[in-house]
């Protein structure tokens, strides 16, 4: 299922560097989300967007920013990466009529050294 893609799939970066994770979707969904997954902590919502002009903070937005360049593209940036941002990051999409059914990307494994 390549409807939701994420780039890069793996990234190692150093503390203080700026990094961008990208997400693209071909499902035509209006809603897009960024989550991070940490062992023992499950999935936590970072940011979400209902459309190009509507971006909202999630549970853990500090240290992150996002850009919704088009309906199909939603990027997550770490302005100045720190080691505790080492995690698996997932992008997801959903249709506004079926918000509960989210389609996830394959994930980006980010390591900050």
Name which of residues 4 to 43 contact other proteins (CB under 8 A). 4, 33, 40-43
Q: Is 101 in the site for other proteins (CB under 8 A)?
A: yes
Give the DSSP letter string of 34-93. Answer: EEEEETTTEEEEEEEEEETTEEEE-TT-TTEEEEEEETTEEEEEESS--GGG-EEEEEEE
Q: Which of 64, 78, 90, 93 binds other proteins (CB under 8 A)?
A: 90
Beta carbon nearer to other proteins, 79 or 101: 101
Q: List the Cα angle 58/36/50 in 5-degree steps.
A: 40
Q: Is 104 in the site for other proteins (CB under 8 A)?
A: yes
Minimum distance of other proteins from residue 106's CB (angstroms):
6
Q: Is 60 in the site for other proteins (CB under 8 A)?
A: no
ω into 80 cis (within 30 of 0)? no
Q: How far apart are CA 14 and CA 10, in angstroms?
A: 14
Beta carbon nearer to other proteins, 92 or 110: 92
Minimum distance of other proteins from residue 80's CB (angstroms):
27
């Amino acid at each position: 299922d390549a409807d939701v893609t994420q780039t890069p799939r793996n990234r190692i970066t150093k503390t203080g560097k700026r990094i961008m994770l990208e997400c693209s979707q071909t499902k035509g969904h209006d809603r897009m989300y960024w989550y991070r997954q940490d062992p023992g902590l499950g999935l936590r919502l970072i940011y979400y967007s209902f459309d190009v002009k509507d971006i909202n903070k999630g549970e853990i937005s500090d240290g992150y920013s996002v850009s919704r360049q088009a309906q199909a593209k939603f990027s997550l940036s770490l302005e100045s990466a720190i080691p505790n941002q080492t995690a698996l990051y997932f992008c997801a999409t959903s249709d506004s009529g079926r918000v509960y059914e989210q389609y996830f990307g394959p994930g980006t494994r980010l390591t900050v050294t």
